[in-house]
Amino acid sequence: MKKKIILAALLAVAPLANAMNAVMYQPQLRDTNVSDAQWQSVLNKLKGQGIDTLVLQWTRYDDAFRDGESRAWLEHKAQLTRASGLNLVIGLAADGQFFERQKQPLPALENYLNRLRADDVSVAKRWVEVLGENAITGWYISSELDDRRWREPQMQQTAQNWLTKTRLSLAAVADKPVAVSSFFAGNMTPDSYSKWVKTLSHSGVKVWVQDGAGTQMLTEAERSLYLKTPSTGKVIELFRQDKQAKTFKATPASAAYQQKWLSTPVPTGQDRIYFSLRYMDAASGVLAR
């Protein structure tokens, strides 16, 4: 009996001990001209830099990658990723209008979140068919949670309920860790944001906090206050956004900055996710920015 208790305790802490050193990849339709040889080269370089996991930010974005050749391309690249020895976290369905649609009144918002959950489950079922349950390390909910829309207690409870239900629904497909990311822009105080992230974690979903270095919305001193938030993961932004551009435009962070992070050990019990593959030297000349 004692052995069983000890084993159960070890299994309970194992996910924390085995935190991932990951990079996130945003599939784009323009990437479908990337050959298997090019993709394998990228994977080999990532492994050489100590990356152990690839996180697909989404595997369906509106109608992109929903079916046909684009979906087949992405599924094949995922299979190559697993065959190379990297772990794979499957991002699910992304809605390009999420940040607008999250502004709906609460009853409509709850219906919308139910639809998102149904879409995620549908995509997850497909990936279990394609890869097999054992090849999937985790699920990623592509809808990012900001510190503006979800400030009110009722809204925070709505987010927690949604994440809880989504985790349970995905567990029925394949019981894997589920993650979501959150970002801050000074709309909550650092203390309020920290409390909210802690509340979200009660859903059983891992919350990865984006570090804000790339968007440059806040100063480094301001960001440091928010980054004291206890979380199960940090997203390290490897881009620098052009604030003067009318549409999103960014360049890679300096090679020295990227190398500093890549050579820094991952804290015990906390995932590290680099954002994104497109801005890393490993993908230079392969993935267009």
pLDDT digit string, tens, across residues 172-210: 999 999 999 999 999 999 999 999 999 999 999 999 999
- Percent of the chain past pLDDT 90, that is, above it, reads 91
- What was the pLDDT predicted at 246? 85
- Average pLDDT of span 94-116: 97
> What is the pLDDT averaged over residues 99-112?
97
Give the orientation angle of helix 153-173 with respect to helix 190-201, to 10 degrees.
30
Given a cut of 90, whether residue 12 has pLDDT beyond it is no
d(CA 65, CA 58): 9
- What is the model's pLDDT at position 244? 85
* Phi, then psi, of 269 in degrees rounded to 5: 80, 5
What CATH number is associated with residue 276? Answer: 3.20.20.80
155 or 247, which is more confident: 155
pLDDT band at 18 (very low <50, low <70, confident <90, very high): low
Q: Domain for residue 288, yes or no? A: no
Instruction: Write out the two tokens for 29.
Output: 């339709």
Indicate if the pLDDT at residue 283 is higher than 90: yes
Residue 76 has pLDDT above 80, yes or no: yes
Task: Report the number of distinct structural domains present in the chain.
Answer: 1
pTM comes to 0.93
- 160 domain residue, yes or no: yes
Indicate whether 185 belongs to any domain: yes
Question: Has residue 1 been placed in a domain?
Answer: no
Assess whether pLDDT exceeds 60 at residue 1: no
The answer to whether residue 118 scores a pLDDT higher than 50 is: yes
Confidence of residue 11 (pLDDT cuts 50, 70, 90): very low
The answer to the question of residue 10 being in a domain is: no
Residue at 215 is within a domain: yes
Half-sphere exposure for 197 (CA within 13 Å, toward CB): 30
Share above pLDDT 70 across residues of the chain, in percent, rounded to a whole number: 94
Among the listed residues 169, 155, 168, the one whose alpha carbon sits nearest the alpha carbon of residue 118: 169
256 in any annotated domain? yes
Domain with 244, as residue range(s), is 22-283
Beta partners for residue 235, in sequence order: 210, 273
Average pLDDT, the chain: 93
What per-residue confidence (pLDDT) applies to 23? 98
Does residue 12 form part of some domain?
A: no
Cα 62 from Cα 71, distance rounded (Å):
12
Instruction: Report pLDDT for 9.
Output: 35
Q: What is the average pLDDT across 229-254? A: 94
Residue 260 confidence (pLDDT) above 70: yes
For residue 13, is pLDDT > 50?
no
pLDDT classification of 17: cutoffs 50, 70, 90? very low
